Copies of this chain bind each other. A is one copy, B any other.
Amino acid sequence: MLLIDRNNYHLFTPLLYQVASALLDPGEIARPVRELVRPLRNVEFRQAEITGADLQRRLLLTDHGPIPYDFLVLATGAQTDFFGNESVARNAFGLKGLDEGLALRNRVLSRFEAARWAKTPEERRSLLSFAIVGGGPTGVELAGAYAELIRLVLRKDFRDLDMNEVRVVLLEAADTLLGAFESELRAAAKRSLESKGVEVKLGARVAEINKDVIQLAGGGEIQAGTVIWTAGVRASEVGATLGVEVGKQWRVKVAPTLQVPGHPAAFVIGDLAAATDGETLLPMLIPVAMQEDKQVARTIADMVHNGGASTFRYRDPGIMATIGRNSGVAQLGPVHLSGFLGWGMWLVVHLVNVVSFRSRILVLINWAWDYLLYDRPVRLIVAAREDRRT
């Protein structure tokens, strides 16, 4: 069995925003794929970029050439969607990859350092104005994290800076944050963000992003020396290369069995797939992907033994988001939690998941680990992308 990924590590994306906000290091939310598959004797890993697939001839196409397959499971995920807006793509930061998380961390910290050298209040305010576009979970969590990084940590680092000159603005085109949540949770999230000093602007659709200013569609502008774009995601390009039907957000339309229609040997799962549960299109969420992969594993095992593919059923575990210290929202079926309880729930759920990732420990413990287990934790190929602006 061959496992192919463009990176040599598996990223726990829900905590990427914490790398961008200087709380975690890459090694704490990512693990080498080779370490993960080590116990699986029949799995081989290869690092490569997937360029497409020839479903007729059963070939996976990579930057290292074509690879024939008996069964194919495509899960190349999603990417930031700038909706073809050149000024956005050029001037805004995305946050999908570890390199982007590091670039963003560098950017924010560098802007504060630069602000100490600013000659005028105008220059300083431009350096210290940060806008996050997109009021979904990523935007909300990032806005909350930056508000706390600035007000709780950087304030102590930059005693001579007037923190009132720092702006964190969250822009959402719709008239509410966290559209997927119930209204009282949306309201709680908004209140919590504002209490942390985030300016929440609803119904604010971005028309253009220039060096220091965001132009809104309805007219009006917002000063922002740094803009982070979390307003759109679309499936990876691979879907469009398959020559099959792709739907909303470029997601590949799949049968209820998660097979590509007309190509029973090819499966598409995760954010790349437009899987439905009966009628409703399933969201681009980790629980969906995790349930899909188990389903496909079972199906392939059945097919190998001349069985058939069965229909995928999604069991919704609920959704949650954290706004920061003591504040989160969780919607688990009938149970709606906000504030401290929502935050506690988020913490527990993410801890349970992240603890399964080996994380950095003190140098002493690192050495001991290395000495006793003959293993080194930090084997990630990740370079911070260069700041797009400078």
How long is the Cα–Cα vector from A120 to B47 in the complex, in angstroms? 18
Q: Nearest chain-B residue to A369 (Cβ)?
A: B23
Docked-complex contact A106 and B383, CB < 8 angstroms: yes
Docked-complex contact A360 and B153, CB < 8 angstroms: no
Docked-complex contact B366 and A113, CB < 8 angstroms: no
Residue in A117, A157, A384 whose Cβ sees the most chain B Cβ within 10 Å: A157
Q: At the interface with chain B, which of A126-134, A330-338, A347-355? A: A347-355
Q: Nearest chain-B residue to A47 (Cβ)?
A: B113
Residue in A32, A363, A371, A376 whose Cβ sees the most chain B Cβ within 10 Å: A363
Q: Nearest chain-B residue to A385 (Cβ)?
A: B383
Give the chain B neighbours of A152 by CB distance below 8 A.
Answer: 374-375
Give the chain B neighbours of A32 by CB distance below 8 A.
Answer: 157
A139 within 8 A of B: no
Give the chain B neighbours of A279 by CB distance below 8 A.
Answer: none
Complex copy number for this chain: 2
- When A351-B363, A383-B103 are in contact, do A376 and B113 touch as well, CB less than 8 Å? no
Docked-complex contact A370 and B156, CB < 8 angstroms: no
Q: Which range holds the interface residue count of chain A?
A: 35 or more
Docked-complex contact B38 and A360, CB < 8 angstroms: no
- When A38-B157, A351-B364, A383-B384 are in contact, do A378 and B24 touch as well, CB less than 8 Å? yes
Contact with B along A218-230 (1 / 0, CB 8 A): 0000000000000
Docked-complex contact B153 and A374, CB < 8 angstroms: yes
- Residue in contact with A15 in the complex, picked from B149, B363, B370, CB distance below 8 Å: B363
Docked-complex contact A25 and B27, CB < 8 angstroms: yes
How long is the Cα–Cα vector from A32 to B106 in the complex, in angstroms? 13
- When A47-B113, A382-B106 are in contact, do A362 and B361 touch as well, CB less than 8 Å? yes
A247 to chain B, nearest CB (A): 34
Docked-complex contact A23 and B149, CB < 8 angstroms: no
Docked-complex contact B34 and A157, CB < 8 angstroms: yes
Give the chain B neighbours of A21 by CB distance below 8 A.
Answer: 376
A253-285, CB < 8 A from B: none
How long is the Cα–Cα vector from A95 to B225 in the complex, in angstroms? 34
A13 to chain B, nearest CB (A): 14
Q: Nearest chain-B residue to A374 (Cβ)?
A: B152
- When A351-B364, A384-B383 are in contact, do A23 and B109 touch as well, CB less than 8 Å? no
A61 to chain B, nearest CB (A): 14
- When A25-B360, A360-B28 are in contact, do A375 and B106 touch as well, CB less than 8 Å? no
A236 within 8 A of B: no
Give the chain B neighbours of A377 by CB distance below 8 A.
Answer: 23
How long is the Cα–Cα vector from A110 to B46 in the complex, in angstroms? 11
Docked-complex contact A35 and B157, CB < 8 angstroms: yes
- Partner-B contacts on A (CB < 8 A): 8, 15, 19, 21-29, 32, 34-35, 38, 44, 46-48, 64, 102-103, 105-106, 109-110, 113, 116-117, 149, 152-153, 156-158, 160, 325, 347, 351, 354-355, 357, 359-364, 366-367, 370-371, 374-386
